[in-house]
Amino acid sequence: MAGSIRQRGRNSWQIRVYSGTDPETGQRRQLTRTVRGSRTQAQRELRALAAFANVGPAVGARTTLAELLERWFAANEADWATTTVRSTWSIIERQLKPKLGHVRVRDLTTVMIDEFYALLRVDGAVEGGPLSPGSVQRIHGVLHRALAQAMRWEWIWSNPAASASPPRMEPVEMRPPSPEQVGRLLDHVKARTTRCCISS
């Protein structure tokens, strides 16, 4: 599929993709977007736009979440670190596709997503049992980014994950040392300093 990138200014790029011919006018149709960021970002958006143009709006309307996740992953994995690729694919295969993959992207609602998160907190672990808030937050991050891509492809007009309520991360309680512990630490440092001075 034909596509082009043209720099419009500093950190600003215009991407354009040929998307077929208008059946009524016979004119060539093109999808155009403006991307702000690096040329690498513009190239990534060009690939995403080309994928959208190749699928077309009608197919996008029928696309399931599983299909979206696979296309989003394929369009972005080359720019991710190895650990990100591995963890993201694990979340897609183990959590998102089995439980929400059959839902069409345009039918997915915030209520469905919140119910999914609640289920994960009760029985979401692969081996059984609840998932931690941090694990659910990571799943939320993957789902949110994939649905944001669907918005850029114009399959949906709003991101249902943006209004969802994943569990909050509880702040780690800071426990300062007691005066006795501080005293023992200072005695230990003093003893080591004394030994170093004697040995030198």
- The pLDDT tens digits of the residues spanning 52-102 come to 666 555 556 678 999 999 999 988 888 899 999 999 999 999 999 999 999
Q: Given strand 28-36, what is the order of strands in its sheet?
A: 3-9, 12-21, 28-36
Confidence of residue 162 (pLDDT cuts 50, 70, 90): very high
Q: Which CATH class is domain 56-163?
A: mainly alpha
Q: Is the pLDDT of residue 1 over 50?
A: no
Confidence of residue 30 (pLDDT cuts 50, 70, 90): confident
125-135 pLDDT, tens per residue?
Answer: 878 888 999 99
Nearest to 117 by CA among 135, 97, 92, 129: 135
- Mean pLDDT value across residues 150-176: 79
**From residue 42, how far is each of 30, 74, 106 by CA, in Å?**
17, 16, 26
Phi, psi of 112, deg, nearest 5? -60, -40
Q: Residues 6 or more apart from 162 whose CB is under 8 A from it?
A: 144
Residue 151 near residue 143 (C-beta atoms within 8 A)? no
Every domain of the chain and the residues it spans: 1-42, 56-163
Report the alpha-carbon distance of residue 9 to residue 39 in Å, rounded: 11
Nearest to 41 by CA among 77, 71, 11: 11
Report the alpha-carbon distance of residue 137 to residue 119 in Å, rounded: 13
